Chain A
Amino acid sequence: MDPIKLIIIGNGMVGHKFVDELYNKADQNQFDVTIFCAEPYVAYDRVHLSSYFSDYQASSLSLVPQGFYENHHVQLLLGEQAVSIDCQKKEVYGASGCIVPYDKLVIATGSNAYVPPIPGADGKDCFVYRSLTDLDKIADCAKRSKVGAVVGGGLLGLEAAGALRKLRIETHVVEFAPILMCEQLDEMGGQLLRKKIEAMDITIHTHKNTKQIIDAEHGKIMQFADGSSIAIDFIVFATGIRPNDALAKQSQLLIGQKGGIQINEYCQTSNPDIYAIGECAVWNSQIFGLVAPGYKMAQIAIDHLLGEDTAPFVGADMSAKLKLLGVDVGSIGDAKGRTPSANSYIYLDEKQEIYKRLIVSGDNKKLLGAVLVGDTSDYGNLLQLMLNQIDLPEHPDALILPSYTGSKPIIGVESLPDSAPICSCLDVTKGQIVAAIQAGCHTVDEIKATTKAGTGCGGCIPMVTQVLNAELSKQGIEVKKQLCAHFAYTRQELYHLIKVGNIKTFQELLEKHGQGYGCEICKPTAASLFASCWNEYVLKPELVSLQDSNDNFLGNIQKDGTYSIIPRSAGGEITPDGLIAVGEIAKKYNLYSKITGSQRIALFGAKLNELPEIWKALIAAGFETGHAYAKALRMAKTCVGSEWCRFGVGDSVAFGVEIENRYKGIRTPHKMKIGVSGCTRECAEAQGKDIGLIATEKGWNLYVCGNGGMTPRHADLLAGNLDRETVVKYMDRFMMFYIRTADKLQRTAVWLQSLEGGIDYLRSVIIDDKLGINAELEKDITGLREQFKCEWKETVENPQYQKRFAHFMNSDLPDNFVQMVSERQQHRPAKPEERIFS
């Protein structure tokens, strides 16, 4: 069979989605695809257009992976505008004169920016905000301008205002309605959003009807109906969209009353061989100006084209969760409470600038809508409650109260029907997720890869996780949330319980929050948490029984039951006297010596009963414990830096020594390593460390969450060109945030991957103080630092702590299972079959 000739006119977000999904579902040879793309760029992310002004890379906005169209043998006509369609001959004509025949045609021409008919609005330096070409024009004009106005305070207008700020333009936003985002927000929500945006030096004018725009000697004057005016240099209109239906009109396809190509529930136009999807289409007199409904139309059109069963298009929920100028905004359903007899619950926190409103039915049973400004963490839950008409809990206001008020109701995902949409961006239902879990996807990442759920805005990830956990426990698979049989909490939850409840012993923790006796999972976790909260001596009687193998005797236990000894040599520095002392001690106790990967000297083969005396000698020689046995900050590896190195830019050794001493011994969820390089040659391999610093001409670049080991990961740049004080401040916050929120034995690299929002989120917490906790984090880490004591010094100074280092409680004989054989001028433990027992 010959392939079906398929043309897609338009290569915007929806047009590309159609092609992408088509190749997910159809055979490569089933279709012969041609794309008309009027713009000079392939499909790009129009939703995040303003990020173009951060790097000016059209490629970073592109939605089309390199080689995607070539690999699928798609004929892409870039820069070719389709000018007419001959529905009889079934041909499309391009502006260059090309003629392409089709069997099936998809129109995805999107929309055009609407400019209101204001005198002067068509003048020089008046722009719209729609395409990359528009952005280039705005950027050009901004170079010779100081002040700009955005007309329109809706979603697009605020996005445009953000773009102008990035261009360092003094920005005004002019809105006709009394509030910003009047489509999505109620009055209080709009006011709070305004306050937040004004704090970014953007001037907001609401209730302004622009009467005319006059060219002045320098720039322009915008005159408003109320008699006021402002002077600006240029204007960007973001006053809404109109479907781009010119081609369809000219081809005699049916057009809606207010424009738009009329489609039926399978996205077919009045000509059954022609589909229309996205913002150019009108269904039931409605135009859908968001990307999610467009994606849904693309899915339906594909299924229909392939002759597969598909649910018809029945409109789309216009709820939205956005980040505008860094402000989280969410709007669900009847956000303005227009439903008769509806009641509202309102939560306002003026300090943190958070506003939440629930609109519920008169009988308090169903959620009708919600407004969220400043905190959209409840969005996923609330959207599900609304979409699936789930009965509300007895006190609906608890849904929007902060989590520290306790007992925040979570809607049980069990109560959702299989048809419930979980991911509205990619239109994935609960049923599809459950099917993926049953087919073997047992992690959120696997579900994301298989179903694409959560790969849009990511707002549904908590919900996806809930579905996963519920389904796994249904299948009898243990869900990771619970620490062990004794504690039904995660490490993070236990941290808060310990901290808030001022709990200092395992018995108390068990009595208040656990059950049973405890085990080798929860005991070391508790020990680590106690240390992270209170930093007390780990071998004191109340804590000693909780310590894992290495902490238990302050050394790394080896295969024969002996221990390694690693004194601190901060930054890898060690004096000749120190080297001699270590050498003499190693000789005296017959210890195998080597240099570790962390620029330290390790002595192996110390018997349990010898540990206190060896450490006594090391301490007398000026050393202290290196915490090599602890899940704690281990060390800072440094290159030789600017003091000696002829390439060095920054003094990496001095800084490394300072920060190793700053954080030494602080117990963390897993071990932590720091690397400090004095220039970009990166000899300290800082990007493979949990925290990495690289000197630049202007200061220090701070990297986080790198790892070597089994799954190497290059660290992410948290911030660049920082002075030392700022580096330390960010490091304080980073460490404490990791301590607070990571899972047990989770390295920073894995932890970052588990943070919803990743490095951007981390940055917003650590640099922008999004959670408002930085003062607390700094205070906590200071508290831990002040508690620091060398625990080996404490041990050798207190004979009562040394008693348990005896190998036999009832004999001074040595452990006869510890035997050595020579190897390479030193020795190694004897294998069991090499041992000699008398």
Chain B
Amino acid sequence: MSEWITICQINDLIPQTGICALVKNEHVAIFRPTENKELYAISNIDPFAKASVLSRGLIGEHKGDLWVASPLKKQRFRLKDGVCLEDVAYNIKAYDVRVSNDSVEIRVD
């Protein structure tokens, strides 16, 4: 049974940055790469340092995809699916995210 949990309002997200949400005990990073309402969500835990920091990373474009670079050692994770560019052994979880009536929602299973 999956459900959508409301995290915050879209305007709580400054364009081109991310935030961290607590979703059923998991730390989830939600990114808003542009002015519009397109959002991405992946785990907030940097799997290399095991620290809850990815929402604080810089968003960058490489090879046509959007990635976040960890603020610690700059490894990059693909926003749409959590793939790690440097080492696929460190891929992380991606979450479904949507905007509904300006509310940011994450799906939990």
Contacts and interface: CB of A to CB of B under 8 A. Distances in A.
25 contacts: A517-B33, A517-B61, A519-B58, A519-B61, A519-B62, A520-B57, A520-B58, A545-B14, A545-B59, A546-B58, A549-B71, A557-B71, A559-B49, A559-B72, A560-B51, A561-B72, A804-B14, A807-B20, A809-B7, A810-B22, A813-B22, A817-B27, A817-B50, A817-B52, A818-B52
Contact of A516 (B45, B50, B61): B61
B15 A545 contact: yes
Instruction: Say which size band chain B's interface belongs to.
Output: 20 to 34
B92 interface: no
Residue from A521, A524, A813 having most chain B Cβ neighbours under 10 A: A521
By DSSP majority rule, is chain B's interface helix, strand, loop, or mixed?
strand
Interface in A620-635: none
Contacts of A804: 14, 17, 19
B57 to A, nearest CB: 8
Interface string B11-38: 0101111011110000100100100000
B74 interface: yes
B53 interface: yes
Contacts of A809: 7-8, 12, 19-21, 30
Contacts of A541: 14-15
Contacts of B72: 549, 557, 559, 561
Interface of B: 7-8, 12, 14-17, 19-22, 27, 30, 33, 45, 49-53, 56-62, 66, 69, 71-72, 74, 76
Interface residues of A, number: 35
B53 A557 contact: yes
B35 to A, nearest CB: 9
Interface in A796-813: 803-804, 807-811, 813
A803 B12 contact: yes
Contacts, number: 97
Interface in A355-375: none
A817 B61 contact: no
B22 A518 contact: no
Contact of B52 (A519, A549, A561, A811): A561
B12 to A, nearest CB: 6
A559 B72 CA distance: 7
Interface in A516-574: 516-521, 523-524, 541, 544-546, 548-549, 552-553, 557, 559-561
B17 A544 contact: yes
A548 B49 contact: no
Nearest to B53: A561
A815 B17 contact: no
Interface of A: 485-486, 516-521, 523-524, 541, 544-546, 548-549, 552-553, 557, 559-561, 608, 803-804, 807-811, 813, 815, 817-818, 832
B22 A811 contact: yes
A545 B58 CA distance: 7
Given A517-B33, A809-B19, A523 B71 contact: no
Given A560-B49, A810-B7, A817-B52, A520 B17 contact: no
Contacts of B69: 519-520
A549 B73 CA distance: 10
Contacts of B71: 548-549, 552, 557
Contacts of B76: 520
Contact of A808 (B21, B51, B58, B66): B21
Given A559-B49, A803-B12, A520 B21 contact: no
Given A517-B66, A809-B30, A815-B52, 19 more contacts: A485-B62, A517-B61, A520-B58, A520-B69, A523-B60, A545-B14, A545-B16, A545-B59, A548-B71, A549-B56, A561-B56, A807-B52, A809-B7, A809-B21, A810-B7, A810-B21, A811-B21, A817-B52, A832-B50
A282 B69 CA distance: 67
A834 to B, nearest CB: 11
A523 B8 CA distance: 27
A523 B60 CA distance: 8
Contact of A561 (B7, B15, B22, B51): B51
B56 A553 contact: yes
Contacts of B33: 517
